[in-house]
Structure 1
Amino acid sequence: MEPLSTAFTIDLRRLTVLRELQRRGSVARTAEALHLTPSAVSQQLSALAREFGVPLTERDGRGLRLTGQARVLLSHADLIAAQLERARSDLAAYAEGGRGTVVVGCFSSGILGLLPPALRALRERLPELRVDIVEAEPPDLFTALDGGQVDVAVAVDFAAAPAHTDARYTREDLLTDVLDIALPRGHRLAGHAEVRLRDLATEPWIIGRASSCCGAVTRSVCAASGFTPDVRHAVDDWAALSGLVEAGAGVALVPRLVRSVYAGRELAIRPAAGAAPSRNVFVAVRAGAEGDPVLRVVREELRAAANVLRG
C-alpha cells in the first residue's frame, strides 16, 4: 500500500466499522449490527486501509482476521472516541445540562426492578429532561452505545458483555442480583428452607434464550452445580415464566430484581443452598462521557436505586 501522507484525513465512521469488526469477529455479523450490507462493510474497511496505507485485515480461511496494524490503530481509535466524548461532555457542562433527551438501554429485569425509582428521582431533580428507555442486552446494547443511539447502558456481566478492562467504556458496578429457585407450590422440595440445585438436575426447566443474560447465567449456574438443565420451555418474559412454574410446567431461577412480578403467584421461592447464584449489574457510558452533567445525575440516581435494593 501507499505510505501514509502527512496530510491525510480520517472518516471516523470507518473507525466505527473497524471497532465493530473487532467485537463481532466477522463481516456478516458486523454488517448486521451496523445495518449495512457486507459489501459496504468491506468497502469501508478497504477505504480505511487506503487512508492509512497499511493492511487492516487478512484472509483467515473463508473469513477475515485483523492484522497487527489494525490492532495498533484500534488502540488509538478508542482514545479518539473517548476524547470526542470528553468534548461532548465539556459542551454539555458549559450549557449546565438538565435539558434534552437521554436514552437508557437496559435489560428487562433491570427495567422492572431498578429503573422505576431512578426515573421518579430524575423527574424530581431534572423535570425538563426527557429519559427514553430501550430494552437491550449485550452485545447489541454496546453497539448502540458506541453508535450514540444509547447514552447510558445498564447491563449484566456475562459472556456477551464487554470486559471490565474495555477502554471504550467508563463503568461502575451497581449491585449483585441474587437468583432464587422458583418451584410449583406442590413440588416435592417446596417445604425445604433452601434447595440444592443439584437436586433439580432431572427436573424440566424453564429458561430464557441462551443469548439472553439470565438464560446464559442460569445455564452457567447449573453447569457449575454439575448438570445440564433439561430446558423444556424457552421463555424470556418473567410473568410468562412465573405462570409456567405456577402451572407445574417446570422449575426456574428467578432474579430478586423482578420479585414484584411473581410475588402474587402460587409459587414456592426458595434460596439455593450454599453460595447463592447471582449476577453482577453495572452501568456504563462511553469513555469520556462520564463528565457530562446530565449523565452524571442519571448515574447517581441509578446508584441510589441500587443502594435501596441492596438494603
Structure 2
Amino acid sequence: MIDLAALRSLIAVRDHGSIVSAAAALDFTPSAVSQQIKKLERQSHSPMLERVGRGVILTERGRLLAERGAVLLADLEQVENLAVGGAEELRGAFRVASFSTASRGIVAPLLARLRSTAPGLEVTVVETDPREAVTLIERGGADFAIVHDWNTLPLELPTTLQRHPVHLDRADVLLPRDHRLASRDSVSPTDLLGEHWITTPSGTICHDWLVHMFAMHGARPDMRYFDGSYSTHAAMVEHGVAVALVPRLGRESLSPRLRAVPVVDPTPQRQVSSLWRGSSRDNPARLHVQAELEGMFAPAP
C-alpha cells in the first residue's frame, strides 16, 4: 500500500521545485520530506528525483506518480467528506488563508462566530497574498481562502478551484489634511501625477493594481516606499512623505491629520471572494464556514 504522506511529499517537491521549499509548504523538516521520498523509491525500486543545478525535478516515473497521486488525493478528500457528512458536531483542523485587511475586517469576526457555532472546529489562519493563496489552496496547504481581485485585474484560477463573491470593497487615496487635493470630493490618477507613493511590495496584487490604474492614463506612479502594512502607509502619509491607495476593508481609524479621498476614472474596486478546492465542495466544515461567512454580509431584515 502506498504511503499517502509520502505521496503528498512527492507532489510538494514537484510543485515547489526543491525539498526545502516542499518541507516549508508541508510544515515538515527537509529531512522528513527526504525520508518520505526515499520510502517511495524503495517501494517502486526506482528513483523519484534527479538533481538539476541547485534544485530537483521529478523523474518520469516520479512525474506520473505525482500526477495520478494528485487525482487520488482529491478523490480521497471527497470520500472523507462523505464519511463525516452525517456528523452532528464539526471537529478537526480547518486551515484558512487570507490577505491582511480581510483578516482584520472579515476573518476576525468570522472566527468569533465559529467559536459559538462550531466550537470543536480548530481553525488556523495564515496571512498571504491572494495569488499565493490560490497556489496554497490548489496544493492542499489550506482548506479555505479569502481572496480578492481588482475590477480590471482579475485573479487567475485553475479549473480545480471554486469561488463565491462575498463583498465588494473600494480603495481611497490617503492624503495629509493640508494637501492641495485634500478638500476635493474625488480625485483621478491624473490629479496625482508627481506624487511620491508608498505601496505594497512588487509582485503583490495591490501593487500591480496601482501600476495598472496609472497605466490606463499612459503614466506610471512614482513609487518610493514599499511595505506590506497599511498602517505603515498611513504613517508615511501622515508625515507628509508619500500618498497611498488604501482599501476600506479592515482599515484602521484614521488620524485627524489624514483625509481619505475617493478615486475615480477608474474607481478602485476589488471583489472579495471565498475560495476552495472543488473536491471539498461537500466538506461539512467548509460548508459551515461558507454559510457563516455569507451570514456576515446578509442584509439586515
Q: TM-score, normalised by structure 2?
A: 0.77
Is 2:10 the counterpart of 1:13? no
Shift of 1:108: 1.3
Cα 1:39–1:114 change in 2 (3 A) is: closer
Aligned residues: 296
Amino acid at match of 1:295: R
Cα 1:265–1:207 change in 2 (3 A) is: farther
Partner Cα distance (1:83, 1:213) in 2: 32
Contact 2:189 2:214 in 1 (8 A): yes
Match of 2:170 in 1: 178
Q: Which secondary structure does the structure 2 equivalent of 1:275 belong to? A: coil
Match of 2:261 in 1: 270
Amino acid at match of 1:197: P
Amino acid at match of 1:277: P
Amino acid at match of 1:12: L
Match of 1:189 in 2: 181
Contact 2:198 2:243 in 1 (8 A): yes
Selected match of 1:218 from 210, 218, 224: 210
Contact 2:103 2:127 in 1 (8 A): no
Shift of 1:113: 1.6
Match of 1:3 in 2: none
Match of 1:295 in 2: 286
Shift of 1:86: 1.6
Is 2:247 the counterpart of 1:258? no
Q: 1:186-231 CA deviation, whole Å, 9 max, x = no partner?
A: 2222233322224434322111223544345434544555444433
Selected match of 1:280 from 246, 271, 280: 271
Amino acid at match of 1:10: I
Shift of 1:72: 4.6
Amino acid at match of 1:288: S
Match of 1:84 in 2: 76
Q: Which secondary structure does the structure 2 equivalent of 1:94 belong to? A: coil
Contact 1:104 1:151 in 2 (8 A): yes
Partner Cα distance (1:100, 1:123) in 2: 13
Match of 1:304 in 2: 295
Q: 1:266-309 CA deviation, whole Å, 9 max, x = no partner?
A: 32222322232333332223443221223212111212334569
Contact 1:172 1:284 in 2 (8 A): yes
Cα 1:149–1:30 change in 2 (3 A) is: closer
Q: 1:239-281 CA deviation, whole Å, 9 max, x = no partner?
A: 332232122121111112124x145543222232223233333
Cα 1:297–1:136 change in 2 (3 A) is: same
Q: 1:19-39 CA deviation, whole Å, 9 max, x = no partner?
A: 333433445533443455667
Q: 1:84-124 CA deviation, whole Å, 9 max, x = no partner?
A: 22222223222223445544332210022223443454455
Range that drifts further, 229-238 or 201-210: 229-238
Identity over the aligned pairs, expressed in percent? 32
Q: Which secondary structure does the structure 2 equivalent of 1:284 belong to? A: strand
Amino acid at match of 1:271: P
Q: Which secondary structure does the structure 2 equivalent of 1:10 belong to? A: coil
Contact 2:148 2:271 in 1 (8 A): yes
Segments of structure 1 that go 5 or more residues without pairing to the other structure are 1-8
Amino acid at match of 1:164: L
Cα 1:102–1:41 change in 2 (3 A) is: closer
Contact 1:172 1:282 in 2 (8 A): yes
Cα 1:98–1:264 change in 2 (3 A) is: farther
Amino acid at match of 1:283: S
Alignment of 1:131-210 (within 5 A): 132-138=123-129, 141=133, 150-157=142-149, 163-167=156-160, 169-210=161-202
Contact 1:97 1:294 in 2 (8 A): no
Partner Cα distance (1:174, 1:248) in 2: 35
Match of 1:23 in 2: 15
The RMSD of aligned alpha carbons is 3.8
Contact 2:202 2:208 in 1 (8 A): yes
Q: Which secondary structure does the structure 2 equivalent of 1:93 belong to? A: coil
Partner Cα distance (1:294, 1:38) in 2: 31
Segments of structure 2 that go 5 or more residues without pairing to the other structure are none
Selected match of 2:107 from 115, 122, 132: 115
Partner Cα distance (1:166, 1:20) in 2: 19
Contact 1:106 1:133 in 2 (8 A): no
Q: Which secondary structure does the structure 1 equivalent of 2:85 belong to? A: helix
